[in-house]
Amino acid sequence: MAKIHAYLNFNGNCEEAFNFYKNVFNKEFNGIYRFGDMPADPNYPLADADKNKIMHIGMAITEHTMLMGSDCLESFGQIAKSGTSAYIMLDVDSTDEAQHIYNKLSVNAQNMEMELEETFFAELFSSFIDQFGIAWMIHFEGNKKF
């Protein structure tokens, strides 16, 4: 069976965002590749300003879930746009885990759509756009089984 992983795009602050997520999830990076690590291609010259940007970074946040990302390069016509067409939903195992992740991940949130609270469908639920423009949901179903 296939696994689903989240792949996030950033406009030059991927490394900053992943250092933040590293602290939130208390995990280490699986690897970091920078655009400057790629072999040079005369058909696609890389600006010096882009060489240190992140081409790919990965971090396992659970045994079966990876958080990965990269910077978009304007010089290659790429721009990351924030929105609410997709959320990363963290389905946690306890109220303590929900509160702990919420307290760390929601710091400086751009948009707090719903504070972590009880709902009719979950003991605890929250949705927000984090400080890097990534949409998150934290969900602890608890005794409110669907």
C-alpha span between 99 and 102 (Å, rounded): 5
Residue 95 neighbours by CB under 8 Å, 6+ apart: 123, 124, 140, 142
Q: pTM (2 decimals)?
A: 0.89
Q: Taking the domain 6-74, which CATH number applies?
A: 3.30.720.100
Cβ within 8 Å of residue 120, ≥6 positions away? 144
C-alpha dihedral sign at 25, 120, 134, 57: positive
Answer for the pair 122, 142: CB distance below 8 angstroms, yes or no: yes
Cross-sheet strand order for the sheet of 124-129: 88-91, 135-140, 124-129, 111-117
DSSP 8-state class, residue 63: T
CATH architecture of 88-140: 2-Layer Sandwich (3.30)
Q: Is 18 helix (H, G, I), strand (E, B) or coil?
A: helix
Q: How far apart are CA 30 and CA 39, in angstroms?
A: 21
Kindly report the backbone phi and psi dihedral angles of residue 82, in degrees, each rounded to the nearest multiple of 5, phi listed first: -80, 155
- Where in the chain are the domains? 6-74, 88-140
pLDDT in tens, the chain (146 residues): 778 899 999 999 999 999 999 999 999 999 999 999 999 888 888 999 999 999 999 999 999 999 999 999 988 888 888 888 889 999 999 999 999 999 999 999 999 999 999 999 999 999 999 999 999 999 999 988 76
pLDDT at residue 146, as a whole number = 67
